[in-house]
Copies of this chain bind each other. A is one copy, B any other.
Amino acid sequence: MKELRVAMIGYGFMGRAHSNAYKRLTDFFPVSHRPVLQVACARNEEKARAFAANWGYQRVETDWRKAVTAPDVDLVDICTPNDTHAEIAIAAARAGKMIVCEKPLARTVAEAEPMVVAVEQARVPNMVWYNYRRVPAITLAKQLIDEGRIGRPFHFRSNFLQDWTISPEVPQGGAGLWRLDAAAAGSGVTGDLLAHNIDTAMYLNGPITRVVARTETFVKERMHTLTGKVEPVGIDDACAFIAEFANGSLGLFESTRYARGHKALKTFELNGADGSLKFNLEEMEYLDYFEYANTESHVRGWRRIHVTNGEHPYMNRYWVPGLVIGYEHSFLNALADFVKGVETGKPVQPDFRSALQTQKVCEAVLNSGREGRWIETGATA
């Protein structure tokens, strides 16, 4: 089996989630390449060492430039804050490395575009970790749509609700908190959470062409960990937008970190003439499906598909029917698809180019929030 030697840039939440996927891949999937945890890279050497020791990386680097050009590295995985994605990805592409990058691709479209150019010029396999496409229930949703079960689409609605920043005592910036720092993150819930929902939406329902949005920052000032001072908050705490899809259906999206009682309520619902689909990440083992066509009217109802059978996407790699997998397996499934893409030469989605489209929608949303009017995303049918 070939080796796939990984340089992991970053060591936070996503660094852990991806490392776990690399370590477990061959336990569950019959792939052609075996990931090797080669380099753990972080500016802080102590933290890099601790992370490497925990997960079993062969060596550490404190300079990402060395890591992404190292000859013993095949694949660069970018798990650092959003403001660093572009520089690292472009350097890695120039070094001819395969690249898998955490979402969102970058802070802005302007940052993201050269990244796409770089990987396409270098012709390196590339993927963005919009991992939720590989939640089996979401992949099954795509399958049911492709089977023609939903018919003409009318509505797509989607939320991503959390509640962890309600307290004004939560600081912005610093380790684990860069998502509240506009300079590092680029935006708030739009890039962090809605980007996921937009990716899922376009995966299932095609391009989004126009949006009108409302963003809000409920807590205007927070202690900034890096400066030690109370500073204005630059991110969007909440964002809602109405969307038009190229296929003529209407979208409604909302994300917030102020929805008391919800921790990771990523949902979607698609309504078509012939059927509907519903999903909720907090109970990700289910896909809800309403079948209208081919069902007698007195027995129509929303059915809960417990997506744990061997015939469901990815599930034949795991346990037995009825036994659930978890959040982390979405990364494992995505990695398996990426490696299969490397093997077959057929690019896996979402690649950088696809993620750029998501970035464009995010940017249109943020602009609309600022300007209070409908904005085109530039996508077409």
- A interface, CB within 8 angstroms of B: 13, 16-17, 19-20, 23-24, 26-27, 54-55, 140, 143-144, 149, 154-155, 157, 161-164, 166, 212-214, 216, 218, 238, 240-242, 244, 250, 252, 254, 256, 258-265, 271-276, 281-286, 288-292, 297-306, 308-309, 311-312, 318-329, 372-374
Q: Are B154 and A259 in contact (CB under 8 A)?
A: yes
Q: Are B306 and A303 in contact (CB under 8 A)?
A: no
Expressed in whole angstroms, the minimum distance between the Cβ of A57 and any Cβ of chain B is: 12
What is the chain B residue whose CB lies nearest that of A13? B320
- Cα distance A144–B214 when bound, in Å? 28
Q: Are A263 and B321 in contact (CB under 8 A)?
A: yes
Q: Which residues of B contact A303 (CB under 8 A)?
A: 299-304
Q: Are B256 and A155 in contact (CB under 8 A)?
A: yes
Q: Which residues of B contact A320 (CB under 8 A)?
A: 13, 264
Expressed in whole angstroms, the minimum distance between the Cβ of A140 and any Cβ of chain B is: 7
- Cα distance A11–B252 when bound, in Å? 37
Query: For the complex formed by this chain, how many copies does it contain in all?
Result: 4
Q: Are A298 and B140 in contact (CB under 8 A)?
A: yes
B17, B260, B276: the one contacting A271 at CB < 8 Å is: B260
- Cα distance A166–B163 when bound, in Å? 37
What is the chain B residue whose CB lies nearest that of A213? B242
What is the chain B residue whose CB lies nearest that of A327? B323
Q: Are A321 and B274 in contact (CB under 8 A)?
A: no
A20, A258, A303: which has the most chain B beta carbons within 10 Å? A303
Task: Show 17 residue pairs from A and B whose CB-CB distance is below 8 angstroms, ordered by the A residue.
Answer: A24-B24, A27-B55, A155-B254, A157-B254, A161-B271, A163-B271, A258-B271, A260-B271, A260-B272, A261-B275, A261-B302, A262-B276, A263-B309, A283-B286, A289-B299, A298-B312, A372-B373
- Cα distance A241–B218 when bound, in Å? 20
Q: Are A305 and B311 in contact (CB under 8 A)?
A: no
- Cα distance A214–B157 when bound, in Å? 14
Expressed in whole angstroms, the minimum distance between the Cβ of A139 and any Cβ of chain B is: 11
The 5 residue pairs across chains A and B that have the minimum distance between CB atoms: A264-B322, A263-B322, A261-B290, A303-B303, A301-B303
B252, B256, B326: the one contacting A325 at CB < 8 Å is: B326
- Cα distance A258–B329 when bound, in Å? 30
B240, B311, B312: the one contacting A250 at CB < 8 Å is: B240
Q: Which residues of B contact A155 (CB under 8 A)?
A: 238, 254, 256, 258-259
- Cα distance A367–B308 when bound, in Å? 35
Expressed in whole angstroms, the minimum distance between the Cβ of A14 and any Cβ of chain B is: 10
Q: Are A322 and B154 in contact (CB under 8 A)?
A: no
Q: Are B299 and A144 in contact (CB under 8 A)?
A: yes
Known: A250-B216, A299-B289, A319-B17. A283 touches B283 (CB 8 A): yes
Q: Which residues of B contact A326 (CB under 8 A)?
A: 323-326, 329
Q: Are A322 and B282 in contact (CB under 8 A)?
A: yes
- Cα distance A252–B252 when bound, in Å? 9
Known: A214-B212, A320-B13, A322-B282. A260 touches B292 (CB 8 A): yes
Q: Which residues of B contact A259 (CB under 8 A)?
A: 154-155, 271, 276
What is the chain B residue whose CB lies nearest that of A216? B250
Q: Which residues of B contact A241 (CB under 8 A)?
A: 242
Q: Which residues of B contact A373 (CB under 8 A)?
A: 372-374
Q: Which residues of B contact A273 (CB under 8 A)?
A: 166, 258, 260
